[in-house]
Amino acid sequence: MSRAATIGSVVTRSRLSDLEIVLVDLGASRALLESEEASTLRLSASDRLRVDRLSGDPARQSLWRAARVATRIVLERAIGPRVRGADFEIASGGRPSLSEGFPHFNVSHTADVALIAVCRSSLVGVDIESHRALSISPERRRRIVAAAARFTGDEANPDNDVDVLVAWVRLEAVAKARGAGIGVLLTEQGVIGSAGEKREKSAKSSPAVTDLDVGTSYVGAVAADALPEKIAVRRFPKHTDELAEFLSEFST
């Protein structure tokens, strides 16, 4: 299966500055993230409340907090310190966003990594999954791969776990970029619902989607109205001096 696909097999060029993708190793960067939050408060009151509500699951709590601090820092790099402490608007499906006039962003995490996208021009969706063995039925595998193929034109092997995971992250990214939940897209494309029911690609304008280089242990994808032909995935800093340089690149 091709690892560089777009809906309708067309990539619309956009300004490189419109889109930034950052991969965060939450384990390697956690000490830096905690130190940075202690010295410069970036989390909002609602963020801290969410952290407190996860106290019953310390591992999840720690990862969620680290991912949210990293997200705040990536947003600060894009739009400056005015984002510190700002409350996110939460859509009905749980998607966080900033108020109108600010860049769009999206976050996905799996295991101890997070993938963060910031886009100035349109809604953006990202998804990342760990390589792993899948325990799902042959029929569900076939439906997932077929749904992704309606958008990308790729011929994938539903018996191959990596192919199925790649198809899945593409669908997740598309759903997020459309501003709808994954359940809506899966129902629309026949992944869930009546067996054998034929579904056509949505008449709604679909974003472009492409795979991302997120290392050998993961698969990832991004979707937006327009994507550059090449997308570099930046690694989040692990040390204080690297973070200072990362933030110094801020420009409006």
Give me the tens of pLDDT residue by residue for the chain, a chain 252 residues long: 444 443 332 333 333 368 999 999 999 999 999 999 999 999 999 999 999 999 999 999 999 999 999 999 999 999 999 999 999 988 876 778 898 788 999 999 999 999 999 999 889 999 999 999 999 999 999 999 999 998 888 878 999 999 999 999 999 999 999 988 899 999 999 999 865 455 555 535 688 999 999 999 999 999 999 899 899 999 999 999 999 999 987 654
pLDDT at residue 90, as a whole number: 83
3-state DSSP: the chain helix, strand, coil percent, rounded to 5? 40, 20, 40
The answer to whether 134 and 165 are in contact (CB under 8 A) is yes
In whole angstroms, what is the distance from residue 54 CA to residue 157 CA?
A: 39
Reply yes or no on domain 7-248 having CATH 3.90.470.20: yes
Q: Could you tell me the residue ranges of all domains in the chain? A: 7-248
Find the radius of gyration of the CA atoms of the chain.
Answer: 18
Q: Tokens 């899945």: give the residue.
A: 168
Tokens describing residue 164: 């199925």
Tokens describing residue 1: 């299966």
> Under DSSP, is residue 179 helix (H, G, I), strand (E, B) or coil?
coil
Tokens describing residue 168: 């899945």
